[in-house]
Every structure is written in structure tokens, then in C-alpha cells.
Amino acid sequence: MTSTMLRPGDSGYDDELAGFQTAVRRRPDVIVAATSAADVVGAVRYAGEHDLPVAVHSTGHGLTVPFEGGVLVTTQRMTGIRIDAESATARVDAGVRWGAVIEAAAVHGLAPLSGSFPGVGVVGYTLGGGFSLLGRKYGLAADQVTAIDVVTADGELRHVTAVTEPDLFWALRGGRDNFGIVTALEFRLVPVTRLYGGSLQFGTESLPTVLRAWRDWTAEMPREMTSSLTMVPMPDLPMVPEPLRGKHVAQIRIAYLGDAAEGERLVAPLRAAAPVLGDTLAEIPFTESGSIANEPPFPHGYRADNVTVTELNDTMLDAVLEHAGPGAPVPTVILLDLLGGALSDIPDNPGVGWDREARFTVRALSVVDDAALTEIRAAHGKLFDALSPWSTGKLLTFVYGESSPDEEAAKVYSAADLRRLREVKAAFDPRNRFRLTHNVQPGRDTE
């Protein structure tokens, strides 16, 4: 192995654990700072020899479950990217972030199905489904995956495709690190270089009107339009521009794959819905797609949960305002995502854990420094209870909670999918070595 092994007390141990999410404490017995697939093989074999559980960390955007002990493999030094312009595909190593792939693909007039924030890791995002800025046109990032290199619990490095290992190929795309540590991903790119995108911002007084206007507007949108609405309590701080400072702001995010004139025509009803406090809509190169959401780049602690829903009726929007609006007991960011389009299509080789029948997601996120965990849990719980009559599921990739890893898996997957996942787990990880995050237990259910 060329990797470094770090133990508690070693210099560099705490730095190696640092990531975007700061509210989840982990204290592994050993950190393996991997530089290659061979290092990952060595780490998993070491864990097997010492009967230790194993987890993996890339950027720390998706940290959810605290743990003590075991082996943690970090992948941030595995940064290789290869673009094949002829086949319009990419091969990326486990530690690559979306920003680097966006830049490398753009040279060839191509784009990946990346999300709102370029700092997010490709592998964690894609294994969670991958809800892209281009999602309604091109589907989930997970649907574009053609091959996965993964080190399974037996310490073997496998090249997994729909043909070589169909069950594992299915389970990894949605089951995430339950089935092994991915060392590289291969996936298709799409022919996108520019889009019409940005956001419209509205103030506190406009929230009820804007929520309804966006909901009504989404009913007529073509697949080329991907859009979300966020509701954000803006801090009263100098870093926030004056018209938005201290306000509860609705931000409508737009990513439209068409010409700017048609984009302008489509968003006109939104601009007319209420006084616009900020407007960044313009034709932009895809390399600037991170500016659409303009999410804060600095690490912080957060808790979040979500539901997928079949509709957004007035009762539901009132519940969103009551439990997460300006008068809510806990400052909460709401994200409503329009699904449908290609996100509802079933590809030849789908993964698991994505609700293709849902029409919207409702996500709630609170910063841990702003409120105690018990208050956040209670506030989010009230919101999701109110939405439960219309809820069809939830997406694991947007769960940043503390409930037991086993419980969360049972909420995310259908009973039939969970049964199949448990069987795949029994075949590839019978001792449940990969159990430190949201866990699928190995086993065969008797019906």
C-alpha cells in the first residue's frame, strides 16, 4: 500500500476527517488515506483480517451517521479523470468532484449530469441517484452509469457492469456504500455547452403567492426545463445583499435547455407573479452552472430530511409556510424540486431507491448552530407529518439525519427492493462489513 494509515492522536488524523458537513462526529480506529484502487483493496483486506467495519469518505457533503471505531477509507487523493469524446463518456476516480468533470467535459462540448453544487463528489452523488440540473431532460446520473469499479467485502476489485454482475450493478446505484467501496465510475455525458439559467428572488410578503405561482407554472413545463424553489431565512448580515438581508426569501432556480428567448417567454409568468428582488437569469456556459443555486461553499453543520410527493396542493403549501416559513420555531431552508420528465422514465437498467412516480420532492434543512437537534427533529417531523397523506417515499441522498441506519433503509426502499438488496448484500457482504452508514442487513427473507 502507498496510502497513509492514521490513528487517533496521529498528526493529520483530524484534518483527514474534515468535510463539508461538520455536525456528524466520527472516530474510526484507523483512517486509510487512499491514493489508488490498490490502497482501497489493502484497506478492505485489513478490515477483514481485523474483523472491523469499513466506511468511505470523499468530500463529506453526505455525512449522516456518527460512528466510533472501524476503518475509514478517504478517497480525496484519487482524482483521475478521462474523457472519451468519441463515445461521449467519462471515467473518474473515487475522489473526483463535479466541478473538475464539468471543466474537463466542456473542452469536448459535453457535460455531465451534475447537480446544483460543483463541490459535491461524483461517486456519492451518483450512487444516491443524482438529481441533476439537466434531470428532467436526461434523467438520473445513476441511469448514465456504464461501469463501476468496486472493492467488495472479500477485498476483490471488480469491474461491474449490467452484464458482468447485474445484481451488484443494480444494488450499488442507490444502495451506495453498503456493497463496497467504488474506486472508479464510468458514465455517459450529454451534448450540452450552454443553458438559460439563474434564479429569481422574492421577499417575505410574496411567499404564499410565489409558492402557488411556481406550483401552477410547473404543470406546463417541457422536459427541457428543470426547476426548484427554495425558501431561505436570510441572515441579517453584511454578506447578504441589501434587498434580501434579514428577509425570508423565495428563490426560484431555473435551468432551461433551449434558447434564451424561449426561456424568457417561459419564465415571464414567474416574473409577473410578485415583486422581484433579484434576477440573475441569463444564457450561461454550463461551466458556470454552479451559479444558478449559488450555494454557500463553506463547511457547516446541518440536518435535513425529505419526502417525495404526488402533488403540491394548497393544504401542503400552507403546511410548508406554517412549519418552515417566517413564523416557524426553527429556521429552516425548504427546497421544492420539480420531478417528472426523464426522471420518471424507466431506463433499460435502472438502479434502486429513486421514486420515479413522484412529481415533487419537499426537502427541509436546518443549520445545527441555529437550533438544537431535538428542536430541528421536532420541527421537521411536524412538517413531514402534515405532508404524509400525499407522500410516496423519500430519497436517501437528501437524508442528513441521525435515526438508526437500519430504520432509514426501511423507509427509503420498497419492501420488494429491500428484500432484493438484502439478498445481494448476503451474497457480497455476508458479515455486514459495510454497515456504518444507512444499512441494508444481509439476509434472505422468508415470505
Ligand X SMILES: Cc1cc2nc3c(=O)[nH]c(=O)nc-3n(C[C@H](O)[C@H](O)[C@H](O)COP(=O)(O)OP(=O)(O)OC[C@H]3O[C@@H](n4cnc5c(N)ncnc54)[C@H](O)[C@@H]3O)c2cc1C
- Least distance in Å: CB of 318 to ligand X? 27
For ligand X, the binding residue among 42, 70, 112, 115 (CB under 6 A) is 115
- Least distance in Å: CB of 97 to ligand X? 7
298: Cβ contacts below 8 Å, ≥ 6 apart: none
295 binds ligand X (CB under 6 A): yes
169: Cβ contacts below 8 Å, ≥ 6 apart: 148, 160, 161, 162, 349
128 binds ligand X (CB under 6 A): yes
Pairwise CA distance, residues 192 & 56, whole Å: 32
394 binds ligand X (CB under 6 A): no
Strand partners of residue 324:
none
90 binds ligand X (CB under 6 A): no
| Residues from 130 through 149 that contact ligand X (CB under 6 A) | 130-131
- Least distance in Å: CB of 434 to ligand X? 8
Q: What are phi and psi of 103, to 5 degrees?
A: -65, -45
Query: Considering CB under 6 A, how many residues would be counted as binding ligand X?
Result: 32
121 binds ligand X (CB under 6 A): yes
Pairwise CA distance, residues 108 & 41, whole Å: 33
62 binds ligand X (CB under 6 A): yes
| Residues from 2 through 21 that contact ligand X (CB under 6 A) | 19-20
For ligand X, the binding residue among 17, 34, 53, 58 (CB under 6 A) is 58
For ligand X, the binding residue among 28, 32, 117, 379 (CB under 6 A) is 117
- Least distance in Å: CB of 68 to ligand X? 16
Q: What are phi and psi of 288, to 5 degrees?
A: -100, 15
230 binds ligand X (CB under 6 A): no
- Least distance in Å: CB of 324 to ligand X? 18
199 binds ligand X (CB under 6 A): no
110: Cβ contacts below 8 Å, ≥ 6 apart: 83, 85, 88, 189, 190, 191, 192
Pairwise CA distance, residues 320 & 389, whole Å: 14
Pairwise CA distance, residues 165 & 169, whole Å: 6
Nearest to 321 by CA among 159, 206, 440: 206
Stretch that binds ligand X, among 27-35, 116-124, 192-200, 265-273 (CB under 6 A): 116-124
Nearer of residues 73 and 267 to ligand X, judged by Cβ? 73
Task: Decide: 73 and 43 in contact? Cβ < 8 Å.
Answer: yes
CB atoms within 10 A of CB 394: 22
Q: Tell me the residue length of the chain.
A: 447
| Residues from 158 through 197 that contact ligand X (CB under 6 A) | 176-177, 181-182
Q: What are phi and psi of 341, to 5 degrees?
A: 60, -140
Cα 445 from chain centre: 30
The mark string for 18-47 relative to ligand X (x by CB under 6 A, - otherwise) is -xx---------------------------
- Least distance in Å: CB of 289 to ligand X? 10
Task: Decide: 240 and 234 in contact? Cβ < 8 Å.
Answer: yes
- Least distance in Å: CB of 348 to ligand X? 21
User: What DSSP character marks residue 12?
Assistant: T
254 binds ligand X (CB under 6 A): no
For ligand X, the binding residue among 37, 101, 111, 123 (CB under 6 A) is 123
Sign of CA dihedral 215, 304, 206, 389: positive
For ligand X, the binding residue among 3, 89, 116, 226 (CB under 6 A) is 116
Task: Decide: 153 and 48 in contact? Cβ < 8 Å.
Answer: yes
Amino acid at 187: F
The mark string for 66-85 relative to ligand X (x by CB under 6 A, - otherwise) is ---------x----------
DSSP alpha helices (H): ranges in 247-332?
260-271, 290-293, 314-324
- Least distance in Å: CB of 205 to ligand X? 28
- Least distance in Å: CB of 20 to ligand X? 6
331 binds ligand X (CB under 6 A): no
- Least distance in Å: CB of 7 to ligand X? 21
The grid coordinates of residue 283 equal 444564457
- Least distance in Å: CB of 327 to ligand X? 26
94 binds ligand X (CB under 6 A): yes
Pairwise CA distance, residues 187 & 183, whole Å: 14
Nearer of residues 56 and 213 to ligand X, judged by Cβ? 56
Residue tagged 417567454 (cell numbers)? 265
3-class DSSP assignment, residue 243: coil
Nearest to 217 by CA among 202, 231, 227, 232: 227
For ligand X, the binding residue among 23, 43, 47, 56 (CB under 6 A) is 56
- Least distance in Å: CB of 56 to ligand X? 4
Q: Contact residues for ligand X (CB under 6 A)?
A: 19-20, 56-63, 75, 94, 115-117, 120-121, 123-125, 127-131, 176-177, 181-182, 295, 397, 437
